[in-house]
C-alpha cells in the first residue's frame, strides 16, 4: 500500500509584460494562430498490395519477381510499382473509375469527350480494356440529375422585365428552398381565401403586364430612334439605289453609279415593296425594297417613254451598260485529273484573252 503525499503551496502566478517577454507573451495569447492544414492525395501506395492477386497483372507480377525474360519486354518494376512502357499499371478496382473521373471532370480538366479523355488517361496509366472503361464513365449522361436543378433555379430567379419569379407569376408565391426547412416559425401570409388569392394573382398579372409594356416601349424607342417611316404612292418619282448583287457577276465595278435617276412608282406591293418603271436595257428586277428607294424632290419632268431613252441625254447620272469584254480562252496552261467516287473530272488552268497572267484560273 502506497502512502499519499499532499504538497501545499501558497504560490500565485502572475504575468509580467516586459521587453524580454514580449514575443513570448504575444504568441501565448494568440491561440487562433495555431493552424493545421492537410492535403489529400491519391493513395497510390495501396496499389502495391494488389498486384500479386490481380486478375490482369498477377501472372506478369510473379514472372517479374521470378526474373522471367518473357515478362521484361514492356513491363518493369520500380519502387514496388508495376509499369508498362513508363505508364503506371492500375489493378482491378474502383481506382480505375477514380482516375478516369479525375482526368475527365477534375479541377484542371474540361469535361472532354471519349477520345480526348482516353488520350489523357493512356498517357499516364495502363490496364486492359482501358478505352471501354473510359467510354463507360464519360458517355454516361447525368442530365437527368442536372436538369431539375436548372429548372428550379430558373423558376426561382427574379426576371428583370417582370420583377417576379416565373413560379410566382403562375402560382402566386415563391417556391420553397432548403432554407425554408429551418425550425423558425414565420408568420403566415394573409389572404389564403379563394377571393383574396384571386385578387392577389390578378394584381401580379397586371403588374407583370405593365412592366412588360414599359420594357417593350423602351426597346422600341431605342430601336426606332433613327428610323423613318416612309411610304410611296403610285406615280411618285423616286431614286433607286444600285447594289452589286442586282447585276451579273463581273459587270458591276467601282465606276458604276450608286443611284439612278428618278423613276415612276408603278405599283405598291406592300408597305416595303414597290414596282418601279425601269428601261429595258437596265437588265435588273423592277421590284425594289423601300430601303433602296429615295424620294425625289427635283423639278425634272417625268421620265419619257422607253423608246426615247436611247436618244435623249439626261443631266442625271445613268447606269452605264455592261461594256466588260467577254471572257475568251487564249490557251490552256495546265490540266489535272481529280479522282472521285463517281469516277473523276479534269481541272484546267486557263489563260484568258485581254487579261493579265495573274487572272489565270
CATH architecture of 236-295: Roll (2.30)
CATH tag for 30-141 (out of 2.60.40.1180, 1.10.340.70, 3.30.450.20, 1.10.1670.40)? 1.10.340.70
294, 316 contact by CB (below 8 A): no
Question: Rounded to a whole number, what is the largest CA-CA distance in the chain?
Answer: 144
CA distance 89 to 101: 17
35, 28 contact by CB (below 8 A): no
The pLDDT assigned to 241 comes to 84
Which residue, chain included where needed, has cell 430558373?
Answer: 154
How do the domains of the chain map onto residue ranges? 30-141, 236-295, 329-359
- pLDDT averaged over consecutive 10-residue blocks of the chain (361 residues)? 51 54 54 56 74 88 77 80 89 87 70 83 91 85 72 87 89 79 58 75 92 92 79 86 74 72 87 86 82 78 52 49 63 85 82 70 60
334-to-4, 347, 350, 355 alpha-carbon distances in Å: 118, 8, 7, 17
Runs of H (alpha helix) within the chain: 22-28, 58-65, 95-105, 114-122, 130-138, 143-155, 166-171, 194-223
The pLDDT assigned to 348 comes to 84
The pLDDT assigned to 144 comes to 66
The pLDDT assigned to 208 comes to 93
DSSP 3-state helix, strand, coil percentages of the chain (rounded to 5)? Answer: 35, 15, 50
CA distance 69 to 84: 15
239, 262 contact by CB (below 8 A): yes
What is the SS3 assignment for 202? helix
Grid coordinates representing 193 are 381565401
The pLDDT assigned to 112 comes to 75
Amino acid at each position: 500500500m502506497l502512502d499519499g503525499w499532499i504538497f501545499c503551496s501558497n504560490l500565485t502566478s502572475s504575468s509580467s509584460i516586459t521587453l524580454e517577454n514580449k514575443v513570448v507573451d504575444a504568441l501565448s495569447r494568440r491561440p487562433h494562430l495555431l493552424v493545421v492544414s492537410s492535403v489529400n492525395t491519391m493513395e497510390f501506395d495501396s496499389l502495391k498490395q494488389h498486384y500479386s492477386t490481380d486478375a490482369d497483372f498477377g501472372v506478369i507480377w510473379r514472372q517479374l519477381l521470378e526474373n522471367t525474360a518473357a515478362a521484361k519486354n514492356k513491363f518493369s518494376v520500380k519502387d514496388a510499382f508495376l509499369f508498362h512502357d513508363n505508364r503506371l499499371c492500375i489493378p482491378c478496382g474502383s481506382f480505375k473509375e477514380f482516375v478516369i473521373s479525375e482526368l475527365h471532370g477534375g479541377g484542371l480538366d474540361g469535361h472532354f469527350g471519349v477520345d480526348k479523355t482516353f488520350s489523357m488517361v493512356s498517357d499516364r496509366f495502363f490496364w486492359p480494356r482501358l478505352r471501354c472503361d473510359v467510354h463507360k464513365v464519360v458517355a454516361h449522361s447525368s442530365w437527368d440529375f442536372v436538369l431539375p436543378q436548372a429548372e428550379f433555379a430558373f423558376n426561382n430567379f427574379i426576371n428583370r422585365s417582370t420583377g417576379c419569379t416565373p413560379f410566382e407569376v403562375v402560382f402566386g408565391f415563391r417556391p420553397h428552398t432548403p432554407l425554408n426547412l429551418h425550425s423558425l416559425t414565420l408568420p403566415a401570409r394573409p389572404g389564403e381565401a379563394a377571393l383574396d388569392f384571386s385578387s392577389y394573382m390578378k394584381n401580379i398579372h397586371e403588374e407583370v403586364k405593365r412592366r412588360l409594356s414599359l420594357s417593350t416601349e423602351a426597346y422600341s424607342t431605342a430601336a426606332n430612334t433613327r428610323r423613318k417611316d416612309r411610304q410611296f404612292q403610285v406615280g411618285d418619282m423616286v431614286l433607286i439605289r444600285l447594289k452589286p448583287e442586282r447585276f451579273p457577276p463581273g459587270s458591276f465595278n467601282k465606276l458604276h453609279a450608286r443611284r439612278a435617276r428618278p423613276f415612276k412608282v408603278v405599283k405598291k406591293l406592300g408597305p416595303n415593296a414597290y414596282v418601279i418603271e425601269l428601261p429595258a436595257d437596265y437588265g435588273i428586277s423592277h421590284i425594289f425594297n423601300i430601303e433602296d428607294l429615295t424620294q425625289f424632290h427635283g423639278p425634272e419632268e417625268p421620265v419619257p417613254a422607253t423608246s426615247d431613252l436611247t436618244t435623249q441625254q439626261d443631266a442625271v447620272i445613268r447606269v452605264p451598260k455592261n461594256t466588260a469584254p467577254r471572257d475568251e480562252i487564249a490557251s490552256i496552261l495546265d490540266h489535272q485529273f481529280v479522282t472521285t467516287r463517281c469516277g473523276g473530272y479534269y481541272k484546267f488552268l486557263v489563260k484568258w484573252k485581254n487579261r493579265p497572267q495573274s487572272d489565270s484560273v
